[in-house]
Amino acid sequence: MGLIDMLLQKFISLLSFDPPEDKTEARHNTGVQLDSAVAEKELSEFGQDARSAGQRIKDRRKARSRPSRVQPKRLEGVKPRSGFGFGGSLPAGLTRDTSEISPDIFASETSSEVSPFAGKAGGDEVKPLTESLDENLEIVKRLLHHGTNADVVVREFDIPTEPKTAAAIIFMEGLAGRDAINFSILQPLMLIANLDDDGEADSRLELVKRRLLPGNQVTESNNLRAVIEGILSGTTCLLIDGSDIALSVETRAWEHRGIDKPSAEMVVRGPQEAFNETLRSNLALIRRRMRTPDLITEMLKVGTLSKTDCAILYIEGLTNPQLVDEVRRRISETKSDHIQDTGILEQFIEEKPYVLAPQTLSTERPDRMAAFLAEGYVGIMLDGSPFGLVLPATFWSLLQSAEDYFLRWPFGAFLRVVRILALILAIFLPAIYLALTNFHPEMIPTDLLLAIAASREKVPFPTVTEVLIMEIAIELIREAGIRIPGVIGPTLGIVGALILGQAAVAASIVSPILVVIVAITALGAFAVPNFNMAFAIRLYRFVYILLAAALGFYGVAIGVFIQLVTYVNLKSFGVPYMSPVAPYTRSSGDALFRYPLWKSEIRPSFLEPQQKERQPRISRGWVKEQGKNNRAKSGASKGEENGK
């Protein structure tokens, strides 16, 4: 029973995410734990087992957490440090002097859920600024670890008023531009300032803001959280003695990568611009294609440590408000310390994390993001990530490419048929080969069956082993080609595949027909335009290989049935994953095939947009006018003939 209780206790502690106990404290509590264990043993001997196992475990956990000495009160979320008020033991005759330890010092010891500039450990209260410049500077320096952090710059100076007014600026070197600080803040305040000071701090601050700061963006902050967040994002904070309000001046000028061509969504015809790692540049690229005041950009902060800027984009008056609220709710309720890419954020907001199918659509093209926003979708952009997220995602949208709309509709429809065929081959071709050769050889034509048997005559392995060897080899070549830097990677992939295939056939490890099948499968996976969907296809392929090796076509049928049931029941932000096919909803027909753009008159109904019509029923007005002119000409000619 003792062993079972111990295992149950460990399991419950793992589920409750209890932090590990301090080893030094555990040594002090050993006597208490032994006493509780002895008492519990005596109770069990006297037949006092009426309590449940869960109650006994709770009692034991309480006994372990019962201190044998007086401990200082711990702040929630603060990890104890040996020799700093928690745990640890001092030599005999020495005591800790806690009279000089300020509560603010404990508040600055942070974890993933504690903000370094929060008034409390939970961040419920925000400490306001004071009217003393020295006090404000001292608090800001302590929070930014000035003196330890080499990139924190504090510049104190005097504004030439009568009498002089002390002021200071704080900024992060590398995030703020030196020229903007020198010529837009320091020079006007130190050299050009000539204020008629009436002695009131509020009017002095207002005069500085209106007359002496030529920056294009100046915001007021009255609490430490806003000040610290502004400094860490690249703005310059201006503190003036006698004022409890700080001015944040826009001076962001960090180094960033320029706009380049898309690397994952390349097209032959269409825009050749891609997102970069700067959020402001990405939003500008989208706004350049959506010149409407109804394009809304809501800014949120994600990550308790990273405080990364996250932008939610949608069209006001067009996008479904419930969809926007759901996206906002999921992002706001995401609790993590560091989120630096949309790929990480995607894993926190998706509904079914154990389903292989991607439930969000990622894109690096601003033109594609703008096109989805015009349809009624919601976009997410993250500072530091060159990829944006489009919500919700459907199965059919993952098979579409931006180039489908830049080509004439017959060409775009043909490309979609090719992609669907590539999808089927990438998933099922090795499994079908296994099922035919192992379980259903009567379905193969006689000549082809004889050729397959002749090619496998010297192969010592079973068919499933051959397939797995080649599939794993292809995955290794693909991964090695990606990880090798420079232009050597693609070359190594091609040459490696040729040499490996030829050597495997010559060594009678695999059959030549299997090399062809694996090559077609790899090409089919490459033809899928979405990277996450292509990755899911690669994993599905291994599942179907195992099912076909075990049960033949019955196993493949079982896998197809389970996958279809999963996809039909899957939802992405409340939208069925297989829409508009299952369930069938009214749309412009732009799902499986590519319809003419002048026939795409309505937006997808599964999004429930506020404006359902995309364009009038007759969008090519010149055709209507040309028809009227032709009828008028024919009527006039008939009148002339009748007159004659």
pLDDT per residue as tens digits for the range 73-94: 343 443 433 333 333 333 334 3
Task: State CA 143 to chain mean position distance.
Answer: 29
The counts of H helices and E strands in the chain are 23, 12
- How far apart CA 378 and CA 385 sit, in angstroms, is 17
Residue 600: both structure tokens together: 């795409």
Residue 215 pLDDT > 80: no
Four-point Cα dihedral 116, 121, 122, 125, nearest 10: -80
Residue 298 pLDDT > 50: yes
- pLDDT at residue 195 in the model: 57
- How far apart CA 390 and CA 373 sit, in angstroms, is 8
Residue 557 pLDDT > 90: yes
- How far apart CA 196 and CA 189 sit, in angstroms, is 14
Compute the average pLDDT of residues 523-535: 90
Residue tagged 């032959």 (tokens): 268
Burial of 304 (0-12, 13-18, 19+ CB in 10 A): buried
Residue type at 275?
A: F
| DSSP class per residue in 320-359 | -HHHHHHHHHHHHT---S---SHHHHHHHH-S-TT-SS-S
Q: How long a stretch of residues is the chain?
A: 644
Of 384, 177, 176, 402, residue with least CA distance to 282: 384
Q: Which CA distances in Å does 227 have to 143, 146, 220, 239, 482? A: 11, 15, 9, 10, 43
- pLDDT at residue 601 in the model: 83
Omega before 580 within 30 of 0, i.e. cis: yes
Residue 475 pLDDT > 70: yes
**Is this prediction's pTM over 0.85?**
no
pLDDT per residue as tens digits for the range 364-402: 999 999 999 999 999 999 998 999 999 999 999 999 888
Residue 608 pLDDT > 60: yes
- pLDDT at residue 571 in the model: 92
Residue type at 512?
A: P
Residue 562 pLDDT > 90: yes
For residues 212 and 284, which has the higher predicted lDDT (pLDDT)?
A: 284
Q: Quote the mean pLDDT of the chain.
A: 78
- pLDDT at residue 508 in the model: 83
- How far apart CA 64 and CA 40 sit, in angstroms, is 13
| DSSP class per residue in 73-108 | PPPTTPPP-BTTTBS--PPTT-----TT--HHHHHH
- pLDDT at residue 32 in the model: 36
When pLDDT is cut at 50, 70 and 90, the band that residue 541 belongs to is: very high
Omega before 583 within 30 of 0, i.e. cis: yes
- DSSP code, position 188: I
- pLDDT at residue 403 in the model: 86
Rg of the Cα atoms in the chain: 34
Residue type at 487?
A: V
As a whole-number percent, the residues of the chain with pLDDT over 70 amount to 75
Of 55, 68, 59, residue with least CA distance to 27: 68
Residue 553: both structure tokens together: 């076509």
